[in-house]
Amino acid sequence: MTLTYETVDVFTDTPFGGNPLAVVFGAEALSTEAMQAIATEFNYSETTFVLPPKDPANTAQVRIFTPTREVPFAGHPNVGTATVLAWRGEAFGKPVTESVRFEEGAGLVPIAILSQDGRPVGAQLTAPQAFRRLDPVPVEDVAACIGLDVSAIRTDRHAPVGGTVGLEFILVELADRAALEAARQVRAEFEARLAGRPVYDIHCYVRAEPGDSVDIRTRMFAPLDNVEEDPATGSANGALMGLLADLEGAADGGIVWRIAQGVEMGRPSLLLGEVDRVGGETTAIRVGGRCVAMFTGEIAQP
């Protein structure tokens, strides 16, 4: 059996920026263990496997693996996989033009294709689940895990707290840009303090400073998934937008955020986020961005 793959840099328009993703085709006969082995071999933050949909009304079933586990949903794998299918122009005999729908563990993920001059350049997903706030996490544990003093973590607007729109993260506001730049993952502290918790990836952020070109700057650390730092995390930023919209009691209508991630690790990413509010509630969370095609090849030993 020979499988094919394409890799794409997601949330960027510049090669070797953004978050790399491997998209694997022809894996219908593979076991879960074989898919995990391939994802571990790629060693990207995620690898996707595009399979025939269970419901023919949908585009594909997409399975997503980190180097250590399968996850029910993630942001950049959806944006990248949808863009690759748009470049191909079809999936399982059906044309791919303006949108796709992916079957995933967290639910059905609708994705709009972004085009420029008639050519697909990226995609925008709608989160498969409404935002849910999960349990708080002790500030001392978070500070130790990201190598900062407790004073570098803001708690006046919210304490470190779990949040999800399909995949769980600990959401942490930092005091300023200097704290964000100084943050680092301390694996021993993650293992000692978070390994036993259901949520153990830390997504930290700061709000824009005057003159900034974006609204939010973020970093995401997931050493327990063998991802020391992720250059762009659509699912985490989707949860963050849900939290911010709820905290700020945003009025009805739409909210738009430009989010920078990956800058400190040399893979700058730009995520474009949108939140819809109706009747004081968030009704939809969308995350999108551009993609760059990188490599194609075959997997000879599945």
pLDDT value, residue 264 = 96
46 is catalytic: yes
Round to whole Å and give the CA distance between 171 and 83.
28
Which residues, other chains included, contact 74 with Cβ-Cβ below 8 Å and sequence gap of 6+?
A: 46, 64, 167, 233, 234, 235
pLDDT over threshold 90, residue 294: yes
pLDDT at 1: 66
Q: Taking 90 as the threshold, does the pLDDT of residue 302 lie above it?
A: no
Pick from 7-11, 244-248, 271-275, 290-294: least confident: 244-248
Which class is domain 3-121+291-299?
A: alpha beta
- Where do you find CATH 3.10.310.10 in the chain? 3-121+291-299, 132-289
Q: Kindly report the average pLDDT of the chain as a whole number.
A: 95
Choose the catalytic residue: 28, 33, 41, 46: 46
Question: Strand pairing of 107-116 and 119-126?
Answer: antiparallel
- Of residues 255, 295, 253, the one with CA closest to residue 278: 253
Give the residue among 294, 282, 283, 146 at the shortest CA–CA distance from 218: 146
pTM of the model: 0.94
CATH topology for the 132-289 domain: Diaminopimelate Epimerase; Chain A, domain 1 (3.10.310)
The pLDDT-based confidence of 267 (bands split at 50, 70, 90) is very high
Look at residue 242 and tell me whether its pLDDT is greater than 80: yes
pLDDT tens digits, residue range 102-139? 999 999 999 999 999 999 999 999 999 999 999 999 99
